[in-house]
Structure 1
Amino acid sequence: MSLTTPARSRALAAGLLALVLTASTACAADEPGTTGGGSIKIGLLASLSGTYQSVGKEIRDGFELYLDTHDGKLGGRQVDLVVADEGNGAATAVPAATKLLKQDRVAALTGIVGGGSVAGVYPLLQETKVPLVGSNGRPEIKDVSRVWHTSYLSDEPGAAIAQHVRDNVKGSVYAIGPDYQGGWDELRGFTEAFAKAGGTLANPDGKTTFTPFPATTNFTPYFARIKASGAQAVYTFYAGSAAVDFVKQYAQSEIKDIPLYAAGFLTEGGVLNAQGEAARDIFSVLNYSPDLDNAENRGFVAAWKAKHDGSPTTYALASYDAAAVLDRAIGAAGDDPTPEAINAQIGKLGQIASPRGAWQFSTVTHSPVQKWYLRQVRQDGRALSNTVVGDLATIGR
């Protein structure tokens, strides 16, 4: 039996201490969102392929613009941004979100284009206890304790413009949109508010016409139905490539002289450039326009144009604001910005300065209480643009 020398004892103690420190560091690195060196991991899920690719890219670029203009940091911590492709809906969004939440172990999730994707990802948020700061429309969710949106609820655009349409259209209105969660919500918001305002739908049986999604690229048969209905105006929601197809075909159809009202996504961003002259005079409702005159918007638009062609969209704006929300919440979460701590601080933010104008989260829905604007596609210099022509309702509940 050999005895341990004092020198050997000190060496063993030092070795044990090193093992303890290594294990401690490894455990800390395993915490969701931590990547070492005081940085934080954020997941961004958006449609970078498929029908809504243009929307997804705007969401990604809006978030990245905030990082670019804030030294790549949120809450004073360097951000490791992990981007994943949502694709066309829940079937591709859920596995992408699973990787972000369970393998990459992000501290917070942002983005998400489709309402169906939000519904599909929702159980994962409940399981992993990671907050979502979404930046596009979403359906109604019963438990929003970890779900926040800097954009809107999907039924709000239609609800905001319904009274205006009722007041300015002398006759019935035909409602049409895509047959999926986002389309159902968007058109329900309009039709319910329009009925309350005393309006009448021209659709058969007074029910919205839904077109198969994403299969419908030829809308001509639907235009024939609209003409036969005797409608004096049309209200619709489409976005991405479907919006381009709808608007171009509408302008060449037998109903081209019937006024067209829409949720603003119909003519938002790059789709307006693709639609060109076919989009002229379309009225739309949205929570943002790049021509809003406030200091935050002037700075935002200037920063966007320094990096991108054209003007920023509501998608970019909402994602920029999502980064701003996370910036404040992570900073307020202290030395240990866990997902739970970040989520708790989001609920305490109060009013948020934004390029769209000041807004705050509803305590009931965790979506913005905000003003909505009436826009019309008009000539702006050498190009067509969505020009604000009036204020509509302030909505939030």
Structure 2
Amino acid sequence: MRKMAAAFIALGLVGAATACSGGSGGAAGTLKIGLLASLSGTYQAVGTDIRDGFQLYLSTHGGKLGGHQIELIVADEGDGAPTAVPAATKLVKQDKVVALTGVVGGGSAAAIQPVVAQGKIPFIGANGRPELKDITRVWHTSYLSQETGAAIAQYVRDNVDGKVYAIGPDYQGGWDQLKGFTDAFTRSGGKLANESGKTTFTPFPQTKNFTPYFAQIKASGADAVYTFYAGGAAIEFVKQYAQSEVKDLPLYAAGFLTEGGVLNAQGEAARDVFSVLNYSPDLDNAENRAFVAAWKANHDGPPTTYAMASYDAAAVLDKAIGAAGENPTPESINTAIGGLGQIDSPRGAWQFSKKTHSPVQKWYLRQVRQDGRALSNTVVGDLATVGE
């Protein structure tokens, strides 16, 4: 952020010195966009990447979306609904943004929907979300939370000769991520090693010591493990796994387990972990090469799927605002999003599902391997294309 901050100030992306009151638009020609992300708490690193991904798109597009200067108003989601809802309420009711983006937690995404619906503004989420009843104004550039595990389930079934132990954190994101895997895995004929025949959930966010759970995995006779953790919990899980009595069992995971800065913190403990994700920095396409180069110019490490999805959220708004007429309104922007076709993205081309308003996209199998002097998540194969 050091180099990027100066660029943002020069572009007028921070602060509101030129904005005046007068509805959603602020100053003449200026549109307000709200970005809500975890800038404190368990998922601070994820939220920071979401913020930085959106800001990167702005900085490389003259601070404009759809030809309009953008005033980006950033708010802290914190660890979930108790802080996300009041922050979203302020963005919608007080700041009067024309669209809301970001949000790390699935629980947060669900909790803010009444605010979005009441404000009648589009929400373009940049991380996983649970199933929602009313998606009229809800769009996501990342994935539905159950899709991650579903995309790798058949591969695990085909490559593990025996039972798999499923484990994850006890909250909405964990429930959805593990359900996606276990439902698809058992449908394909796979067997869970868990004593109950159901996923083992660890208390969130307080679980720091996973040793008792590794003992349960050992006692179950499992032949492999599938998991979802992110942020600080992912660091602890992987480090302790590598020192545990089950360290020789293959570890499969939703890609967030080794994504971004957590891989650096995990170090050698993460070597050989298999994961599934909709993005990897080593994908070979023109959009990704440009994205990675721009990101690395301002950051020490490669971009994450969180940054990529938020970058794409800005791209979606860019196209939609441009198609929404001379004086875009929340309603016209939302209508325009529904009419968008293919989005050229660092992950590869995708488009919104008419049914779910989330991407129809390819998922990739990755493995933590040596890349020069560092470990990285290396794409080793294509998995399913998921989305309807």
For the aligned pair, the TM-score class normalised by the smaller chain equals over 0.9
Within a 5 Å distance, the mapping from 1:33-44 to structure 2 comes to 34-44=25-35
* Separation (CA, whole Å) in 1 of partners of 2:309 and 2:373: 27
Partner of 1:144: 135
Alignment: residue pair count: 369
- Give secondary structure in 1 for the equivalent of 2:297: helix
* Separation (CA, whole Å) in 1 of partners of 2:233 and 2:27: 44
Q: Aligned partner of 1:259: which letter?
A: P
Partner of 2:241: 250
Partner of 1:381: 372
| 1:354 CA displacement | 0.4
**1:113 and 2:104 aligned:** yes
Within a 5 Å distance, the mapping from 1:4-153 to structure 2 comes to 29-32=21-24, 34-153=25-144
**1:200 and 2:191 aligned:** yes
Per-residue CA deviations over 1:193-251 (Å, capped at 9, x if unaligned) read 00111000000121100000001011000000000000000000000000001000000
**1:319 and 2:319 aligned:** no
- Of structures 1 and 2, the larger Rg is shown by 1
* Separation (CA, whole Å) in 2 of partners of 1:154 and 1:171: 26
- Give secondary structure in 1 for the equivalent of 2:362: strand
Partner of 1:370: 361
* Separation (CA, whole Å) in 1 of partners of 2:209 and 2:43: 18
* Separation (CA, whole Å) in 2 of partners of 1:29 and 1:340: 20
| 1:185 CA displacement | 0.2
Name which of 193, 205, 208 aligns with 1:217. Answer: 208
Structure 1 stretches of 4+ with a deviation exceeding 4 A read: none
Name which of 322, 329, 347 aligns with 1:331. Answer: 322
Within a 5 Å distance, the mapping from 1:204-283 to structure 2 comes to 204-283=195-274
* Separation (CA, whole Å) in 1 of partners of 2:195 and 2:79: 30
Q: Aligned partner of 2:34: which letter?
A: G
**1:357 and 2:330 aligned:** no
Q: Percent identity?
A: 78
* Separation (CA, whole Å) in 1 of partners of 2:250 and 2:50: 30
| 1:335 CA displacement | 1.4
**1:178 and 2:169 aligned:** yes
Q: TM-score, normalised by structure 2?
A: 0.94
| 1:37 CA displacement | 2.0
Partner of 1:9: none
**1:161 and 2:152 aligned:** yes
- Give secondary structure in 2 for the equivalent of 1:97: helix
- Give secondary structure in 2 for the equivalent of 1:323: helix
Structure 2: give runs of 5+ residues left out of the alignment: 1-19
Alignment RMSD: 0.8
- Give secondary structure in 1 for the equivalent of 2:112: helix
* Separation (CA, whole Å) in 1 of partners of 2:45 and 2:105: 13
- Give secondary structure in 1 for the equivalent of 2:196: helix
| 1:29 CA displacement | 4.6
Partner of 1:305: 296
| 1:357 CA displacement | 0.4
Per-residue CA deviations over 1:314-368 (Å, capped at 9, x if unaligned) read 0000000000000010111111211001000000011100010000000000000
Q: Which one has the bigger helix percentage?
A: 1
Q: Aligned partner of 2:131: which letter?
A: E
Structure 1: give runs of 5+ residues left out of the alignment: 1-27
* Separation (CA, whole Å) in 2 of partners of 1:263 and 1:39: 39
Per-residue CA deviations over 1:41-69 (Å, capped at 9, x if unaligned) read 00000000000000000000000000010
